[in-house]
Structure 1
Amino acid sequence: MSLRSRLALAFAAVGALVAALVGMLSYDAVRDRVLAEIDRSLRSQTTAVAGAGGQATAVAEALAQSPDLFPGADLPGPGDEEERRPVVRAVASDGTSSHLGGPAAALPVPDAAARALAATGTAGESFTTEVVADGTTYRLLTTALGSGRGALQTAVGVDQTYHVLHGMAMEITGAGLAVTLVAAGTGLLVAGRITRRLILLTEAAETVGAQDHTGFEDAGPAGRRDEVSRLTASFRMMLTRLTAAREAQERLVQDAAHELRTPLTSLLTNATVLRHVAELAPPARERLLDDLQGETRELGRLVDELVELALAGGRDEAEEPVDLGAVARRAARRVYRRTGRLVHIDADDRQVIGRPQALERAVGNLVENAAKFAADDGEPIEVRVERGTVTVSDRGPGITDTDRARVFDRFYRADTARALPGSGLGLAIVRDVADTHGGTAFARPRPGGGATVGFVVARSRVLPGSR
C-alpha cells in the first residue's frame, strides 16, 4: 500500500474514531437527560397522586393536571396520546395491586422488589425499572408510602422516546460517516501534497545511476522550511554534488588517459628498442637506459599526483587547527634541501581550521612550483601567510593573461613550462584543497616580473591571533 493511501486511511480512522466518540457521548448525554426528565415527571405525578388520598375523583384531577411525561415528543403516530398519559396503580403491603387511573394498561404483576418496597419500605423510597405490557415499553417508578401503607407505581410509555432517540442515533451515525469521508478526502489531499515531492525524490534516487535528474528541480517550492522541503533541498544539494563529482571523475579519467599515453608510448618504444640492445653502440645504449629511467620516474610521479588529486577532496581526514606559517616553513626547508633555493617567510601567528595533510600538500606545491620557475639570480622566493591567505611570489617568466585563466586546470602546462619536469597537476591540487576549505586559488603577474600564486581559505575558518 502506498504512503498516500496509508495517510488517507490514517486520517479516515482518526476522523471515524473522533466521530464515534463524540456521537456516543452525545447520544448517552441526550438519553440520560431525557430519561432523567421522564423520571422527574413520574416523581411529580406520584407526589400528586399520593396527595389525592386514593380517591378516584382526586386522582383523575391530578392526572389531568400532571405535566407532560413525554418531553420533546411531537411526532404523530398511532397511540401517541394514549402513550403520553401516565398509568397509576397502588400496591398493597401484601403485594396485591389495584388500578388508580390512566390508560388500562396490563402492567405486569409487581415483582418481588416492588412487593418488598410496599411492605417494608420507608416513605419516599423508590426505584425505576422498564417493563413491557401489550407490546409497549413502560418506564415504571415504584415509590413506598411507608408505615405499611403499600406503594404507588406510576408508569409511562417510552416507545416514542426511544423512537426519537433511535432517529437521533441514525443522524449521529450519518454525521459520523460524513466526517469520516471528509477526513479521508482531506487525508488524500494532504497526503498527495506531501508525497508528491517524496515521489519525485524517489524517482530522482532511482535515476542517480543513470545521471538523469530532469524534473527534480521542481520537487518543491523554494524558501519553505518544513521537513519535506528541507529533505528536498538536501536531496537536491546531494544530487548536485554527485553530478559534479561524476563529471569531475570523468574529466580526471579522460585527462589521465591522455597524459599517461605519452610516457607509456615512450616506454613501449624504448622497450621495443631494447630487443636490439646488443646491436647498439655503448653511447646509444646509455642514452636509451637514461631515457627509460627518466620516463619511468616521470610516470611514477604522474601516478602519485593522480592519486593525490583523486583523494584531495574525498580523503577522510579530521579537521583541526593548522598553523599555516609552520607549514610554509617546513615546505621552504624541503625546497632548500632539494634545490638550494632560498625561501623568505613572512607569516602571522593565526591558525585555520582545516585538514593538515591537504594544506601541507597545497603549500608545498606552491613553493615547489615557484622554485621550478624562479630565475637563477639568487633572489629568494617570497612566501606570505596572513589571515588564512598563502601567497607565493617568484621572479620567473610570469603568467600571461591566457595562462592565468587555465593555470589551475588539470594537466594544463603553459608554453614556458613544457620543457620543465612536471605533470600539470600541482596547481590543480592547490585549487581543490582551497575549494574543500571554502576558499579559492588565485594567480596573477608580479609587479617587476614573475608570478604571484596562492590560495585563501574561508574567513570563518580563520582563528583569532595576536596580530
Structure 2
Amino acid sequence: MNITRWFGAPGRRGVALAAAVLATGLGTGAAAATGLTAAANDATSAQLALRTAGVRGALDSTFQRYADTMHDLVATSSIPGADLASTVSRIAADRLPAAHQVTVVSPAMAVLAEHTLDGSTPPRNATLTPTPFLQHGLTLARSTGRLVASPAHVLPADLDLPPAHRQPGFELIAPIHDSEFRGWVVVGVRASDLLRDSLRAAGVTGVATVLTETSPDGVTHEVATWSASGSAAGSASSTVDVALAGHVWQVVVRPTTPLISTGQELAGPLTMLGAVIASLLLSGTVLAVIGDRQRLVASSRTDIDRARTAELAAAGHAAEVTATLREREAELTGFAAAAGENLHAPLHTIAGFTDLLLEETAPQLDEASRGFLDRIGRSTRRMLTLVDELLAYSAAGDAALKLEPVDTTGLTLGVVAGRLDTVDGERPSIDVSDLPPVMADAELLGEVLGHLVDNATRFVRHGTAARITVSAREHSPGWWRIEVADRGIGLPEDQRTRIFQPFHRAPAAEGFPGTGLGLAICRRIIDLHGGDLGVDPNPGGGSIFWFTVAATGIALKPGPELLAAGAV
C-alpha cells in the first residue's frame, strides 16, 4: 500500500488533519485540567491540615491545663493543715473546662474535700465508693505514682439521667505523696463537654470532630462528637492522636465548610470540558470543508490558527489559576511565619520577666508561688520552642538552596558536639563513622542532622543512656544514604509513614518533650534536595532514620524540580 498516495487523497488528508486537531486539543485540555486539579487538591490538603492543627492545638492546650491543675491540686493536698475545701475550690474554679467534680480522697476512701464545677448539687458523701473503672485507675495511680486517665464510661453522677442524655466521660486520678502515700485527687470529666469547650475557647470553626478511643482488644469506640457549624461536607478527613495521663484518644476531623472555593474546585473539569468542546468544533469545521480542496487549504489554516488561539487561552487560564493557588499557599505560609514572629517577642518578654521575678523575689515568696512562677517559665519556653519550629517549618518549604560540596563528617561532628554541650545527666554515646562528601546546602543539611540526633538522644527508655551511630552507604549511582541509628523506644510499623506529617507524634512519644514538627521540617529540606527520607527498625531494638543526598560529582539544580535518585 502506498502511504503517500493514501494521505495524498484530499478527503483522507482532511480526516487526518481533523484527527490531529482533535488529539492536540484534547491533549492540551487534559494537561491543563490535570495541573489545575492537582493544584486544587494541594490547596485542599493544606487547608485541612491547618484546621486539623487547630483542633490538635486546642486539645493539647486543654490537656496541658488539666495536667498542670492536677499537679497544683496534689501539691496543695499534701500540705498538712491546709484548708482543702476552699483551696480546691479556688484552684479548680476556672481551670477545668467540662469537669463535673473534684474529690480529694484518703487511702481509706474517706472524702477529705469535694467541689462541684458544673453547677449541680449532688449529695455529699463521707466515703467514696469507686466503680470498677475508677478502682482500677486508683490502683494504677498509686502503684505508678503518675497521673492516670480511666477509659471512657458514664460517670456515676449521670447514671440516673435518661439514656439519651447520658454522655461518656472519664476520671483523672493523681496520687498524693510527700514522705508517704496520703490519697488521691480525682476529677470527673464529661468527654463531649470537654471537646466542645476546648474547641470553642480556641476559636476553632469549620470542622466536625469525633473523639474515639481504641480498647485493648483493638475495637474503636466513639466517645464524643462536636461540630462548629452543620454536618461534615464531603469525604475529606484527617485523624490525629491526642494523649493525656497515659491514655491516647484519636480525633477525626472533617470540614463543615468548603476547603477551597467553587471556582478552584471546578477549574479542572471546566477546562477539560472547554477543551473537548473546542476540539470537537474545530474537527467538525475541518470535515465540513473537505469537498473543495482550495477552500480546505484556506479553512484548515484558519482553523489551525483558531486552535492555537484556544490552546493559548486555555494555557493562560491554567497558569492564572495555578498562580492564584500558589499565591494563596504563600499567604498561608506567610501567615504562619508572621504569627510566629509576632509571638516571639512577647514570649521572650514573659520568660525574661519570669526569670527576673524568680531571681529577685524568690526569698519573699512561698513555695507554692515559686512553683507557679516556675511553671509559667517552663510553659513559656515550651511555647517558644513551638514558635521556633513553626518558623523553621514555614521557611523550609521555599528556602533558596546554596548547593556546594559539604564535608559531611566535619558537619556531623560539629552538630554532635553542640548537642553534647547541652546534655544534662548521663552523656549519650555517639559514634560518627567516616562520611562521604556530598552536594548540599550545608546549613540546611546541618539542621536535618541536628533534628535526627536530637530525637535519638531524647527518645530513649527512662534510666538508660542513648547509643547512637551515624554512618553512610551507597544508595544508588551518584547518591549516598546517611543513617542515624539508635537504641531508643522504636516505632511501630503503622507509625513509620505518619511520623513525618506535621504535628504528628507517635503514642509512644507521650511523656517526651517535642512539638511534632522536627521530622516534618527534615522532610521539606530533603525534598528540596531531591532526596528521600524514611525510617527502618533497628535489629535488636530502636530505629534507623535515613535520608539520601547527592554525591559531590552530581550536577544538581536547586529548586522543586530536582529529581530524586531513581525517579523517572
TM-score for the superposition, normalised by structure 2? 0.37
Structure with the larger strand share: 2
- Higher relative helix content: 1
Return the structure number with greater relative CO, CA threshold 8 A, min gap 6.
Answer: 2
Find the structure with the greater CA-based Rg: 1
> TM-score, normalised on structure 1?
0.45
